[in-house]
Structure 1
Amino acid sequence: MQYLIRFTQWHETFRLAEIQSLATYLNIELKIIFYSDELPSEEDARALMKRSILAQSIHEHWATANTWDELHVAIRRDTAQWWPRYKQSSFKINFDTYQGSRSSSKRKELIDSLAYLPFDGQILMSSPEQEFTIFEEWEWDSVPKNIPNPLKVHFGRLISHSVRDLINIFDLKKRTYISTTSMDSELALVTANIALAGPGKIFYDPFVGTGSFPIACAQFGAIGFGSDIDGRSVRGEGGKKSLKGNFQQYGLEKQIGDIFVCDLTNSPVRRARILDGIVCDPPYGVREGLRVLGCKDVEKFANLVEKGKRTYKSPDFVPPKKPYSFTAMLEDILNFASDTLVDNGRLSFWMPTANDEELEIPVPTHPCLQTVVVCTQTFNKWSRRLITYRRLLDSQVDMSAVALKKERETVNGHTADDLNAFRRAYFTGFKTESLAREAIPN
């Protein structure tokens, strides 16, 4: 059966990635045909909408045509066998135009042209048993150009709306505890979907901050773990104004695995294949240089005992940090994922890049990980990408490539400035006043 999905107008490169990931998670055979989806059953269509954030609704596809006359021919020719099912149902017909508009009188005229459909039920504008929708696709900027006809016309029966209202429920403006780097609710939920979060799964964010990603994963049933180099961001002010308080705000406290303080290179997480997913928005080294735990000035922190007490055990102790390479961070994330993800487990992380090809940061690769999809959110002169990988089965891994990678990392090493050309360009080359505050990377 073919279905029409009405997507939101936001985040275009994320739409199919989310739907295809949900089909993978739900084990649904999905075939994409020009943004309409062929699914085995109506039950599968409803299942997709129970998780989708970027879709608005899904509709049983009845007909598509280039003109209204052709649409009427297609409806009469291809859908007559379905008419008896809805003959006595209450119903209404909606009108949805994309990139165009119709006057109220013209909409009524076009809806009335469907009067040959033998529906005898009551017409109800509120809560009818069945809803049918006319979709018109118009050429961009069609109204001022006085273009008289749409490019395409579709007709379908509503199956289900999506759970897009979750965006408002998890809106950062309503959240008790956030920071300047908290990921907005829409993209956090989409990231959780693309990473295949779900009941019985363990998800981890090694740059957890105030917990946007584990909260999104928890909403879909996963157990959320997280860590951060900054213990202050994890603890917050205590109580409701803390990371755990955010979970409590949404009634998700039972979905917390554990939250702890560490960095990716000094982590207590066992290097075993136990994680179903890793989701994160790593620091880009823009607001300040990247850091990891460690001593840049060894002599300054040589004596960690003061007046007979070990100062690192003091509640006020701030552990020393040293510069960290952007390149090293990317490789550490991929290596960590390779060591800890289960077969087909997913890593989804955000990464900046310049829109200038000369400054563009390539998508990192790893012999144990296969790139699933790269989604791009474009700002002005830079973008950030959500890169998603799946952990290959050991039988699929090229072990000679793994050995070569380890040898290269041992020989070459990294410096703290590796790939921070993006940071320099951000401040000197392509930063503009038009960048929104929420668009500035962390």
Structure 2
Amino acid sequence: MLKMTNQLKRYLFWFAHEHVDFRLAEMESIFDMFNINLSTVTRPKEHPYWIVDLPDENVVHKIASRAVSLRFCLELWAQGKKKEDLHNSLKAYSVRNSDIFIGDRRSFKIVVETFCKHFSQCEKVEKIESFSYLPLEGPVKLKNPDVTLCYIEYYGLNPNEIPEEPYEHFFGKWIADGQRELIQKLSLKTRKFIGNTSMDPQLSLIMANQAQIRNGDVVLDPFVGTGSLLVAASQFGGYTFGTDIDFLMLHGRTRPTRISQKTREKDESIAANMRQYGMSSHYLDVVVADFSYPLWRVDLRLDAIMTDPPYGIREATERIGTMKINPVIEEHQATSHIPSKIDYGLNQIYKDLLCFSARHLKLDGRLVCWYPLFRDQYTEDQLPAHPCLELVANSEQVLSNYTSRRLLTYKKFREPETNDESIIMNLTDFREKYFALREETRKDKRMKKATERARRRENWERSNKESTER
């Protein structure tokens, strides 16, 4: 039977079962943003739910207004590992709270949710009828009822070993849905301007939540690309701008990413994306610039920095420079001169990024960025660090058997001092190792193919010899 304090109600947060490692970081950022102190009953590890005690529904609606990982939230009336336990708990709840049922003529419906197991509609109706003892006085209304009640059966995470009976049963009143519809709204399939590395909308929105973007915040993406992170930040009220060294990308002149598209349309740009989503008023601008060179005034203060730096795999890691000694640009070349570029290593990119964030973020402002690595070599001391920035979240997205990238969230807790420019790092050259590993894999495949061809030829020659001898 559920037990709650007089001041708190019990709620069930139910999550979409994707990007599992990001749930806690996103939700904890939202709780911190709204100064919500909650009492956790069951914390999500890999299972898709979180049970908490909160003061009232207003707090739940605040959380649901931002959470992208969240499917829905229930006021939890009953819970049990066995069906009988659930029904006993629910009957006790209805007796204890009889005053909320008596005289309540609002329409209602009961929906059945199952996790990791499918039931027919007839079976679901049978489960619904088992709750006929509830003292509900209003009419049943299947479309847009006043109250939606939800019964959930949780069968674990392994679809290959589904138990006969659920591990957990839940019953409660629906309070709010999360922001899952934003994923479809901001889909790359329908977006005007995209590129090879445009960020998935769900991850972009999660980044915006971990950056704690609120109305009026000023947000920068220093490796802006096609502006996916600006779109997500503006969705939550941020005023956004960015920089990128790629002139052709920012002017929409690169090769189209979509297979069916032969040439870029004239109006493809980040600004066009903002117009598409009705966010033009929150878009400041983008600038063609080399992040390794100082551009902004020293007193620039930002509420958040969100970015996905290039790794040197699908996008080049470049900065302005030359290998020549004492290069000279003639006066007649100045107007048409295109600066040469040299490699901008990951170590230097993250050093510049963290130093920039320490200088230009406001206190408690956040840097949210991706960091690539090899999974078998991961240790936390491999991550970038700065004396003014605290690492508050670290989530992994697996990319392959060998590689992943981690979404790192830093909070600025003090202003930098003169001796703070040194960065504590133990970074592996991701690009160099990635291509070395890829070349090694290709060699292994070529060797296997050559061995297989030799084996087949040997078998063929043996077969011919045996046929001749016969």
Query: Which bracket does the TM-score occupy, shorter chain normalised?
Result: 0.7 to 0.9
Corresponding residue SS for 2:304? strand
TM-score, structure 1 as length reference: 0.86
CA gap 1:120/1:404 in 2 versus in 1, 3 angstroms: closer
Counterpart of 1:303?
A: 329
CA separation in 1, counterparts of 2:171 and 2:70?
Answer: 17
CA separation in 2, counterparts of 1:374 and 1:431?
Answer: 32
| Superposition deviation, residue 343 in structure 1 | 0.8
Tell me which amino acid in the other structure corresponds to 2:308.
D
Residue 323, structure 1, aligned to residue 331, structure 2: no
Tell me which amino acid in the other structure corresponds to 1:122.
P
Give deviations 1:191-214, integer Å, cap 9, x for gaps.
Answer: 111111111111000000111111
* Counterpart among 231, 240, 255 of residue 215 in structure 1: 231
CA separation in 1, counterparts of 2:239 and 2:206?
Answer: 17
CA gap 1:406/1:215 in 2 versus in 1, 3 angstroms: same
Give deviations 1:49-93, integer Å, cap 9, x for gaps.
Answer: 111111111111111111010011111223434454353111111
CA separation in 2, counterparts of 1:117 and 1:185?
Answer: 41
Q: After the TM superposition, which of the residue ranges 355-364 and 22-31 deviates more from structure 2?
A: 355-364
CA separation in 2, counterparts of 1:265 and 1:295?
Answer: 14
Residue 12, structure 1, aligned to residue 20, structure 2: yes
Counterpart of 1:121?
A: 138
Counterpart of 2:246?
A: 230
* Bigger Rg, structure 1 or 2: 2
Corresponding residue SS for 2:373? strand
| Superposition deviation, residue 388 in structure 1 | 0.4
| Superposition deviation, residue 6 in structure 1 | 1.3
Counterpart of 2:112?
A: 95
- Unaligned segments of structure 2, at least 5 residues: 1-8, 43-49, 254-264, 444-470
Tell me which amino acid in the other structure corresponds to 1:179.
G
Counterpart of 1:439?
A: none
Q: After the TM superposition, which of the residue ranges 348-357 and 336-345 deviates more from structure 2?
A: 348-357
Question: Is the Cα–Cα contact under 8 Å of residues 221 and 243 in structure 2 kept in the other structure?
Answer: yes
Counterpart of 2:367?
A: 347
Question: Is the Cα–Cα contact under 8 Å of residues 156 and 162 in structure 2 kept in the other structure?
Answer: no
Give deviations 1:148-205, integer Å, cap 9, x for gaps.
Answer: 2100111111001122111111111111111101111111111111111111111000
Question: Is the Cα–Cα contact under 8 Å of residues 3 and 59 in structure 1 kept in the other structure?
Answer: yes
Residue 204, structure 1, aligned to residue 204, structure 2: no
* Counterpart among 208, 231, 255 of residue 282 in structure 2: 255
CA separation in 1, counterparts of 2:378 and 2:222?
Answer: 30
CA gap 1:70/1:358 in 2 versus in 1, 3 angstroms: closer
CA separation in 1, counterparts of 2:272 and 2:331?
Answer: 34
Equivalent positions of 1:28-427 (< 5 A) are 28-34=36-42, 35-86=50-101, 87-141=104-158, 145=161, 147-237=163-253, 240-272=267-299, 274-287=301-314, 290-298=317-325, 302-306=328-332, 310-311=334-335, 314=336, 317-357=337-377, 362-381=382-401, 382-394=403-415, 403=419, 406=422, 418=429, 420-427=431-438
| Superposition deviation, residue 347 in structure 1 | 0.3
Tell me which amino acid in the other structure corresponds to 1:94.
V
| Superposition deviation, residue 261 in structure 1 | 1.2
CA gap 1:226/1:4 in 2 versus in 1, 3 angstroms: same
Identity within the alignment, %: 31
Tell me which amino acid in the other structure corresponds to 1:69.
E
| Superposition deviation, residue 304 in structure 1 | 4.2
| Superposition deviation, residue 273 in structure 1 | 5.8
Give deviations 1:352-385, integer Å, cap 9, x for gaps.
Answer: 1112227998221111000111111113221111
CA gap 1:344/1:384 in 2 versus in 1, 3 angstroms: same
Question: Is the Cα–Cα contact under 8 Å of residues 29 and 40 in structure 1 kept in the other structure?
Answer: no
Question: Is the Cα–Cα contact under 8 Å of residues 300 and 360 in structure 2 kept in the other structure?
Answer: yes
Q: After the TM superposition, which of the residue ranges 356-365 and 212-221 deviates more from structure 2?
A: 356-365
- Unaligned segments of structure 1, at least 5 residues: 433-442
Corresponding residue SS for 1:388? strand
TM-score, structure 2 as length reference: 0.82
* Counterpart among 400, 404, 428 of residue 439 in structure 2: 428
Tell me which amino acid in the other structure corresponds to 2:95.
A
Question: Is the Cα–Cα contact under 8 Å of residues 372 and 430 in structure 2 kept in the other structure?
Answer: no
Question: Is the Cα–Cα contact under 8 Å of residues 386 and 420 in structure 2 kept in the other structure?
Answer: no
CA separation in 1, counterparts of 2:77 and 2:138?
Answer: 19
Tell me which amino acid in the other structure corresponds to 1:428.
E
| Superposition deviation, residue 28 in structure 1 | 2.0
CA separation in 2, counterparts of 1:273 and 1:31?
Answer: 39
Counterpart of 2:455?
A: none
